[in-house]
Amino acid sequence: MRIDLETLVQQNIKNLQAYRVEDLKDGIKLHANENPYPPPAELIEAFRARLAEFQLNRYPDPECRGLKDAIAQRTGRPAEQLVIGNGSDELIQILLQIFCGPGDAIVFPDPTFAMYSLIARGMGLEPVPVPLDERWDFKAEDLLAAAASHDARLVFLSYPNNPTGNCFSRSEIQTVVEQFPGIVVLDEAYHDFARQSFIDEMAEHNNLVVLRSLSKIGLAGLRVGYAIADPFTVGEINKIRLPYNSNTVSQAFAEQLLRDFSPVERQIGVILKERERLAEELSAHPKLTVFPSDSNFILFRVEGNGRSLFEALMAGGVLVRDLSAHPRLNHCLRVTVGTREENDQFLAQVRKALA
Ligand SMILES: Cc1ncc(COP(=O)(O)O)c(C=O)c1O
C-alpha cells in the first residue's frame, strides 16, 4: 500500500521545521555552548574501573537513586524534589505536557532558547513571546500582562538567557514568581557560569520549577538534565516520564562527576577567565558590539554583514552560531567560549575576516 503520509500528519506538526544545527567535520566547534574540555582524566579512569560492574543487560534504575543523591548533596534539595531528564529538553517537553492542553498559551521573553517555542508548537500550544528591551531585560509588568491577556499556563525564563547571555533582573523575576498564577520555569542550564539561582525561592513558591543541565559542564553527549520542583509536580512528572528515560551509563557518569566536582570547577574557572578575555578582545574591534555575558558564550553584533563573517569563519574552520534569522538578532553571532587555543584561532579568523 502507498499512502499520502502527509495527509495523516497533524496540522501543527506540518508547519514545523526540524531543529537544525550546522556542523563542521574537523573544525573548531564554538556553536553549541558545550564545555570545550573533556571530562577530567581521573573521572574517566574511575569510570573505566567501574564499567565492568554495570549490568548493561538490565534496565537502568528508573528512580536514578545514586544520581539524585549526588544532586541532593550538591544542591541541598531532597531527592523527592528531583527528577532526572534525558537532557533538560525532555523536562521542558514533559512540563508542557502536564500543565498545558491544546491551544493553551505559554509566555517567555524573546529572544530566548528556541526549544520553548518549538516544543510548544509541536504540541499545538500557543507561544507568546514578550520582546526584551535593548539591554535584553524585561519588565515583570509587561510579561504578566501578556500572560494574563492570553490566560497563559506557564512562563519560561532562561536564567541566564540563551542566546543573549545575560541574567534578567532578579527583582523582575521575583515579581513574576510571586504574581503569576501558573508555573514559572526558571531554566538554569548555565547556572554554573552565572552562579546565581532561584532555588532558594522554592520553599515559598510551589509554582517554581528550576531546570539544570550537565550538558554545559562536560556531559552534553550523555544527555543529563534535572528538575527541582515541588514534590507534587515531581509526582505528576513521574506519571508521564518514560520509566527508563535516563540510561545506566549516563546516570553513573553524571553521579561521579557531581560527587567530585572540583576538576569541573577548575574547568569552569578557566572558561570564565577566557570569557572575559574573549569579550575584551572582541569589544576592541570597531566593527563589533559585544553584549555582556553571565554564561559560557558571548553574543555579538557585526556591523555590516553577520552572515558573511559567519561564512568566513566557517571557511576558516571555526563554527559559531548565526542568529540573524531572528528579527531582533540581525547580524548577531554567538560564540561559545572554547579552550585558549580555540579562542585564539577564532579571534585570529575574526580579525582576518573583518580586516
Ligand atoms: C537555556 C537552555 N535550556 C536548556 C537547554 C537544553 O539542555 P540539555 O542539553 O540539557 O537538553 C539548552 C541547550 O542549549 C539551553 O540553552
Give exposure, 219-237, as e/b (b: 16+ Cβ within 10 Å): bbebbbbbbbbbeebbebb
DSSP string, 256-305: HHHHT-HHHHHHHHHHHHHHHHHHHHHHTSTTEEE---SSSEEEEEESS-
What type of residue is 237?
A: I
Please, what are the domains in the chain? 5-30+263-354 (3.90.1150.10), 53-259 (3.40.640.10)
Return the pLDDT at 42.
Answer: 87
Cα dihedral 241, 245, 248, 254 in deg (nearest 10): -90
Question: Across the chain, what does the average pLDDT equal?
Answer: 96
Mean pLDDT along residues 145-174: 98
**Closest-CA residue to 93 (of 67, 113, 70, 69):** 113
Average the pLDDT over 314-340 and give the result.
96
User: Is the CB of 113 within 6 Å of ligand 1?
Assistant: yes
Q: Is 215 in the pocket of ligand 1 (CB under 6 A)?
A: yes
Cβ contact 84:63 at 8 Å: no
Q: What is the arithmetic mean of pLDDT over 131-137?
A: 98
In this predicted structure, what is the pLDDT of residue 108?
Answer: 98
Backbone CA torsion sign across 204, 177, 179, 231 = negative
In the chain, the DSSP E strands lie at 28-29, 82-85, 105-110, 126-131, 154-158, 183-187, 208-213, 225-228, 288-290, 297-302, 318-319, 321-322, 332-336
How far from 253 is each of 16, 44, 221, 249, 257, CA to CA, in Å?
Answer: 35, 9, 11, 6, 6
CA-nearest residue, atom 16 of ligand 1: 162
* Coil, helix or strand at residue 68: helix
SS3 track for 90-118: HHHHHHHHHHCCCCCEEEEEECCCHHHHH
Residue 186 pairs in a beta bridge with 157, 210
Nearest to 267 by CA among 298, 225, 296, 292: 296
- Kindly report, residue by residue over 86-98, the tens digit of the pLDDT: 999 999 999 999 9
Could you tell me if the CB of 225 is within 6 A of ligand 1?
yes
Q: Which atom of ligand 1 is nearest to the CA of 158?
A: 1
Beta-bridge partner residues of 334: 299, 321
In whole angstroms, what is the distance from residue 177 CA to residue 131 CA?
Answer: 19
Give the Å distance between the CA of 242 and the centre of ligand 1: 20
The total of other beta-carbon atoms located within 10 Å of residue 202's CB is 20
The answer to whether the CB of 33 is under 6 A from ligand 1 is yes
Q: Is the CB of 116 under 6 A from ligand 1?
A: no
| Residue whose CB lies within 8 A of the most ligand 1 atoms, among 34, 71, 88, for a mutation test | 88
Q: pLDDT digit string (tens) for 292-326?
A: 999 999 999 999 899 999 999 999 999 999 999 99
Q: Does the Cβ of 88 fall within 6 Å of ligand 1?
A: yes
111 lines ligand 1 (CB under 6 A): no
| Residue 296, ligand 1, Cβ within 6 A | no
C-alpha cell at 183: 508555573
Q: What is the pLDDT of residue 21?
A: 76
> What pLDDT sits at residue 46?
86
| Angle at 133 (CA atoms; ends 147, 149), nearest 5 degrees | 15
Calculate Rg over the CA atoms of the chain.
Answer: 21
Query: For 309, what's the count of Cα atoms within 13 Å in the CB-facing half-sphere?
Result: 29
- Model confidence at 20: pLDDT above 80: no
pLDDT, one tens digit per residue, over 36-70 is: 999 989 889 988 888 888 999 999 999 999 999 99
Amino acid at 174: Q
**Confidence band for 127, pLDDT divided at 50, 70 and 90:** very high
pLDDT recorded at residue 19? 79
Task: Report the distance separating Cα 177 and Cα 208, nearest Å.
Answer: 7
Q: Using a 6 Å cutoff on CB, does residue 164 contact ligand 1?
A: no
Q: Name the residue of 35, 108, 115 whose CB sits within 8 Å of the most ligand 1 atoms, as the mutation to test its pocket.
A: 115
Ligand 1: centre distance to CA 60 (Å): 23
pLDDT band at 34 (very low <50, low <70, confident <90, very high): very high
pLDDT digits (tens, 9 = 90+) for 228-268: 999 999 999 999 999 999 999 999 999 999 999 999 999 99
Instruction: From the CA of 85, give the closest atom in ligand 1.
Output: 10
172-231 pLDDT per residue, tens: 999 999 999 999 999 999 999 999 999 999 999 999 999 999 999 999 999 999 999 999
Task: Give the C-alpha separation, 336 to 278, whole Å.
Answer: 10
